[in-house]
């Protein structure tokens, strides 16, 4: 069980469409918080645990599963991420760590709602939202054209979600999901269509 907010660490989530710089900014935020004396644990989803590894294989096209199955796999990985006794989010927060996660349930709302009903995707996450809500979500707001340019520049094999039509729908799904929770959870949008250092400076001000 998660301790009260004033007696545990903070849980910070980074979100954004592909190419928005989530991983880079999550790492820089972790480095900054460590520098100012915080105990920090940087993590990501899908995780590197068994279910997370299976998800990454599916995302890369190694094998096919239905969208509902994929959503269920993400949910299972997320629950394990939260509750496992080795380095679970709740365990670390209760020990006073600031936990920074590259993606969380927002990504499921945005991506799995491409083909599944968003109400259903949200409903299966009710327990997650209740037992381990983020204290802060930082959304790196990047337009789709810039996202695709960055993905192309990486010169990597694209995952199944990385194309213009899909990313546009994902972007809109993020907006819809945030609108549902704007009065319940703290969400801060940061313009990601600028340089890494400029984005990091804005995020430092947010964290302060």
Domains of the chain plus CATH, in order, are 5-207 (3.40.50.300)
Sheet hosting strand 11-15, strand order edge to edge: 40-44, 98-102, 11-15, 136-141, 187-191
pLDDT in the model for residue 19: 87
pLDDT in the model for residue 150: 81
pLDDT in the model for residue 148: 84
Burial of 6 (0-12, 13-18, 19+ CB in 10 A): exposed
What is the C-alpha separation between 84 and 49, in angstroms, rounded? 10
pLDDT in the model for residue 61: 86
Angle at which helices 22-35 and 196-207 cross, to 10° = 50
Pairing of strands 40-44, 11-15: unpaired
CA angle 33, 35, 39 (to 5 degrees): 55
Ramachandran category for residue 179: left, alpha or beta (phi over 0 → left; psi -120 to 50 → alpha): alpha
Could you read off the pLDDT tens digit of each residue along the chain, which spans 208 residues? 999 989 999 999 999 998 899 999 999 999 999 999 999 999 999 999 999 999 999 988 899 999 999 999 999 999 999 999 999 999 999 999 999 999 999 999 999 999 999 999 999 999 999 999 999 999 999 999 888 888 777 766 555 566 888 999 999 999 999 999 999 999 999 999 999 999 999 999 999 8
pLDDT in the model for residue 161: 63
pLDDT in the model for residue 156: 60
Q: Give buried/exposed letters for 46-78 (b at 16+ CB in 10 A, else e).
A: bbeeebbebbeebeeeeeeeeeeebbebbbebb
Rg from Cα positions in the chain: 16
> In the structure encoding, which two tokens stand for residue 95, read together?
């020990």
**pTM of structure:** 0.93
Residue 164 has a CB neighbour count (10 Å cut-off) of 11
């Amino acid at each position: 069980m998660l301790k009260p907010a004033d007696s545990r660490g903070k849980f910070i989530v980074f979100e954004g469409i592909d190419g928005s710089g989530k991983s880079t900014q999550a790492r820089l935020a972790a480095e900054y918080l460590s520098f100012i004396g915080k105990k920090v644990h940087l993590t990501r989803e899908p995780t590197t645990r068994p279910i997370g590894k299976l998800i990454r294989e599916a995302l890369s096209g190694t094998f096919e599963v239905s969208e509902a199955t994929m959503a269920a796999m993400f949910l299972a990985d997320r629950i394990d991420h939260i509750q496992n006794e080795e380095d679970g989010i709740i365990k670390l927060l209760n020990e006073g760590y600031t936990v920074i996660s590259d993606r969380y349930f927002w990504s499921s709302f945005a991506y799995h709602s491409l083909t599944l009903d968003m109400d259903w995707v949200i409903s299966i996450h009710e327990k997650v939202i209740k037992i381990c809500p983020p204290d802060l979500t930082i959304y790196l707001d990047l337009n789709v054209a810039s996202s695709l340019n960055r993905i192309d520049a990486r010169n990597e094999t694209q995952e199944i979600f990385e194309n213009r039509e899909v990313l546009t729908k994902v972007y809109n799904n993020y907006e819809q999901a945030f609108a549902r929770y704007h009065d319940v959870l703290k969400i801060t949008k940061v313009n990601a269509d600028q340089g890494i250092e400029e984005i990091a400076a804005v995020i430092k001000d947010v964290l302060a």
